[in-house]
Amino acid sequence: MIAEILANTLNPDQAIREEAVHQLETLENENFPAYLQYLCEELANENSPSHIRTVAGISLKNTVSAREIARKEQMVQRWIALNDETKQSVKYSILNTLNSDDIKAGSTAAQVIAAIAAIDIPRNQWPDLIQILLENVTKSNKSNLKQASLQTIGYTCELIDPEILASQSNSILTAVVNGALKEEPSQDVRLAAIQALTNSLEFTRANFDQETERNYIMQVVCEATQSENESVKVAAFECLVRIMQLYYEKMELYMQKALYGLTITGMKSDDEKVALQAVEFWSTVCDEEIALAVELEEAQISNIKPPICHYFAKAAVNDLVPTLLWLLTKKGMDDEDDEWNISMAAATCLSLLATCVEDDIVAPVLPFVESNINNTDWVYREAAIMAFGSILEGPNPVNLYPLVNQALPLLVNLMKDDITQVKDTTAWTLGRISDVLPDTLKNEATLQSLVTVVTEGLSDTPRVASNCCWCLMNLAEQLEPEDLEVNETYPLSKYFEGIITALLNASQQEQANAEINFRASIYEAMSSLVSHCSKDCLPIVAKLTEVTLQKLDETIMLQNQIVNSDDRLAHHELQANLCSVLTSCIRRLDKEITVMSDNIMTTLLRIISSASKSSTVLEDAFLAVGALSAVIEGEFSKYIESFVPYLNVALQAHEEYQMCSIAVGLVGDICRALNEGVIPYTDEFMNHLLEDLQSSILHRDVKPAILSCFGDIALAINSNFVTYLPIVMVVLKQASSMEASPNDYDMIDYVNQLREGILEAYVGIVQGLKSGNCAGEMAAHVNDIFAFMHNIYNDVEKTEALIRCILGLIGDFADAFPNGELNPLFSEPWISEIIREGKKMRGSISTKEVAKWANQMVKRSLQASSVSY
């Protein structure tokens, strides 16, 4: 029975397919252990067709793994809750399937094992798995079993935290390296071994620290790049890319002896997959050295030991550039613009190389550009333009200005080229110039010619027009007036209406409806132009607001006529794009939007009420509401009752975490707009926010914003926040205790964000209670809060934003307790140290200003104290 159902999931008839999926879901929900057994039996069945076994394995894997965080957690808990007998039976069956004569079945079993291992190994529920797999690799002569076991090791290493498997790194490394040797007779086994090695590199640092072991590993991988089997060769270059990412500092000798020559030769390979990985190797070198340049600068400023930089890219420029320029010409008329190919990879590498080696890139590239920009062969013409556009960021702008000024008239003319690829790359290059070298466009005639060809390009093919949109966005941002509220005009003023009209016309083209990404580019360009325009453009922005509202109303009228799911998705995307433009118009018009606010809220409420919980339009509609509340402030009170029910639903959307995050931000917007007018709704808001914090499903990234939102509420309702103070202080104290492991950089970033949210909450609470003459309510908590701030100050991973928050909170406490109540705390040495440090901060002027203000507040509190700053 199960085989027939699985076969039907592949049936071309949609009705049969859907019925089969429904039957599988019913089996899964009614008797999960039995469902697992059915799937295991089918995956292990040597008499079953290969494609049925594959579907069984994928279905089995999907019972324990999912992309969505909430669903994945549910599956993990369901697996953990199974009795041991069922779990052991499943594991036994899939381990045996690794030995199948059907390679596809073995590979599928490898994926299932890794998915279960990701749950069980961290919980020490499958302690012998790695040993079983290693024995399969080292003691068996059956290539299928070795291959599937190596694949399992690779998948498992990819899914599990490196620290968990570090204790077994020697055994794993021995097995996979042996499988990767050139003496291995099966190329499939060798391929699986190299892929497993790539996935295991992260937890083999101890082995890479040993020169003998490192030499052996590098020898095996380098030998694999010379394999006659193309798949093995590609995997070996992929492995070298990963090694360079993880162990750059140890690569000097290997670059001299082998890697330099291997990769330059690899870039010229007839096999594009090999060439792509060889180019990726040098892109990775550039990435590493760009990051190291930043670290070197920081080390110099902080007077600490600088990291090691070998300057591989600088040494290789003269060999790399000719090869990359040659690769730029390896494209055809039929190449898809969204399909990654060798010419695109070469352009990316050239761009990174320019950033890395700066002025050294110009001399080797310029002759190619000059000799080919007017070439009769479009491939070389396009390559010359791409090369020029790729080196615009990195070299000293002063050295590029004369070159760009010389090239601009040629590029403007090339926008009329007969070949789409040439126009596409030209539009991209003009966008690059607008982005990184806007000073070259100060000449009025130059700007006029650029704007003319780019707006004309909006009616070209979607790929050309999309780059024209990007160019207009860059022009809008880079030519923005110094002060939007003061400057009456700016360089784009005379073209503004024409550009907006051209964009609106482009949005009506048939190709805009067919190409969702192109349409999004059009509206993104509109939003950018609106956000950065001068005051004399505001009447046009007001007209655009009316047009946008009209278009939104039209979409609402049409939505009930849509039955196709693809059409519905495109329709929601259009509404989201229009809401985004509306948001920009609201923010730019500021108080002038008030006369349209009724129409805006009516339209937005209609969109919100008709949108599904997971549709993209809901997020953008909420952002528009937030923008309106920020602009009209107290006037928003007349809409609050109609809107709050939708806001409360969004606050409970734990599985749609981005929607929930926007809703949290919107609570803050409404609090700032209405102040005490929000009091009737704060009970509901607080309940939902506290539930969000307790949710195991809600993505953790939302939680710092929730904590900060407590501060927004306190600031709005002043003394009325006393009701919530006990529970909020408990929550904030609990959150304050979270620490990050020294090498877990994702966790370090998250803890810093969490701490920022906590400090922002404290700032809002202190200020709010002070305004309500209730600052004394905080007295019982000040020691814990100051200890928390001191702990952050002592953390080497603290950010400038955290220092600024601490300084602000210190100042707020001094302001709220001006009579010396907190002088013992203000007299602690670290207070004077952080204020001094804040005054010297190089990154942000606002940090210095906050430090000066905090200093004044503390001095006032200390009065005649002997503490000096």
- For residue 844, pLDDT beyond 70: yes
Look at residue 334 in the predicted model and tell me its pLDDT: 63
Identity of residue 395: P
Within 303-357, residue ranges assigned H as helices are 312-328, 342-357
Average model confidence (pLDDT) across the chain: 90
pLDDT tens for residues 597-634? 999 999 999 999 988 766 789 999 999 999 999 999 99
- Comparing 420 with 25, which gets the higher pLDDT? 420
Q: Residue 866: which pLDDT band, with cuts at 50, 70 and 90?
A: very low
- Please give the distance of CA 794 from its chain centroid, rounded to a whole number: 30
Can you tell me the distance from the alpha carbon of 157 to that of 121, in angstroms, rounded to the nearest whole number? 11
Across the range 33-59, mean pLDDT stands at: 89
Once rounded to an integer, what is the mean pLDDT over residues 785-814? 94
Q: If phi over 0 gives left and psi between -120 and 50 gives alpha, with beta otherwise, what is residue 303?
A: left
Evaluate if residue 529 carries a pLDDT over 70: yes
State the pLDDT confidence band at 338, using cuts at 50, 70 and 90.
low
Q: What is the per-residue pLDDT for 868?
A: 40
The string of pLDDT tens digits covering residues 365-418 is 999 999 999 999 999 999 999 999 999 999 999 999 999 999 999 999 999 999
Q: What is the pLDDT of residue 869?
A: 38
| Cα–Cα distance, 638 to 758 (Å, whole number) | 32
Q: Which residue has the higher pLDDT, 184 or 751?
A: 751
User: Quick one: tokens of 367?
Assistant: 């002759």
Residues 191-223: tens digit of each pLDDT: 999 999 998 888 888 888 889 989 999 999 999
Q: What is the crossing angle of helices 129-139 and 103-120, to 10°?
A: 150
Whether the full predicted model's pTM is greater than 0.75, yes or no, is yes
Contacts from 861-868 at CB under 8 Å and sequence distance 24+? 861/814, 861/817, 861/818, 861/819, 861/820, 861/822, 861/823, 861/826, 862/820, 862/823, 862/826, 862/827, 863/820, 865/823, 865/827, 867/826, 867/827, 867/832, 868/832
Q: What is the pLDDT of residues 674-716, one digit of tens each?
A: 999 999 999 999 999 999 999 888 888 999 999 999 999 999 9
Q: Where does 775-844 have alpha helices with state H?
A: 782-793, 800-816, 823-826, 829-839
* Cα 204 from chain centre: 27
- What percentage of residues in the chain have a pLDDT greater than 70? 98
The burial class, CB within 10 Å (0-12 / 13-18 / 19+), for 442 is exposed
Contacts of 149 (CB under 8 A, 6+ apart): 98, 110, 133, 134, 136, 137, 140
| Residue 203 and residue 162 in contact, taking contact as beta carbons nearer than 8 Å | yes
pLDDT value at residue 335: 63
- pLDDT-derived band at 346, boundaries 50, 70, 90: very high
Characterize 697-714 residue by residue with b for buried, 16 or more Cβ atoms within 10 angstroms of its Cβ, and e for exposed: ebbeebbbbbbbbbbbbb
* pLDDT value at 267 more than 70: yes
- pLDDT, one tens digit per residue, over 550-603 is 999 999 888 777 777 778 888 889 999 999 999 999 999 999 999 999 999 999
Q: Where do the structural domains in the chain lie, given as residue ranges?
A: 210-332+339-395
Closest CA to 538 of 496, 506, 499: 496
Is residue 867 pLDDT above 50, yes or no?
Answer: no
User: What average pLDDT does range 499-528 have in this prediction?
Assistant: 89
Give which of 492, 482, 605, 471 is closest to 541, Cα–Cα: 492
What value does the mean pLDDT take over residues 140-159?
87
The one-letter code for the residue type at 332 is G
Count of CB atoms within 10 A of residue 345's CB? 24
Who's near 138: CB < 8 A, 6+ residues apart? 174, 175, 178
Average pLDDT over residues 58-76: 83
Per-residue pLDDT at 864: 44
Q: Is 80 exceeded by the pLDDT of residue 186?
A: yes
Q: What is the CATH number of domain 210-332+339-395?
A: 1.25.10.10
Q: At what angle do helices 143-159 and 129-139 cross, to 10 degrees?
A: 150
- How many CB atoms lie under 10 A from the CB of residue 604? 23
Helices 84-97, 103-120: inter-axial angle, 10-degree rounding: 150
Q: Which among 90, 75, 103, 94 is positioned nearest to 133, based on CA atoms?
A: 94
Instruction: Let me know: does 304 contact 261? Beta carbons within 8 Å.
Output: no
In this prediction, residues 229-241 reach a mean pLDDT of 94
Residues 636 and 644 sit within 8 Å (Cβ to Cβ): no
Helical H runs in 31-168? 32-44, 50-61, 69-81, 84-97, 103-120, 129-139, 143-159, 162-165
Residue 6's pLDDT band (cuts 50, 70, 90): confident
**CA angle, corner 503, sides to 501 and 504, nearest 5?**
65
* Residues ≥6 apart with Cβ < 8 Å to 315: none
Region 712-724: mean pLDDT is 95
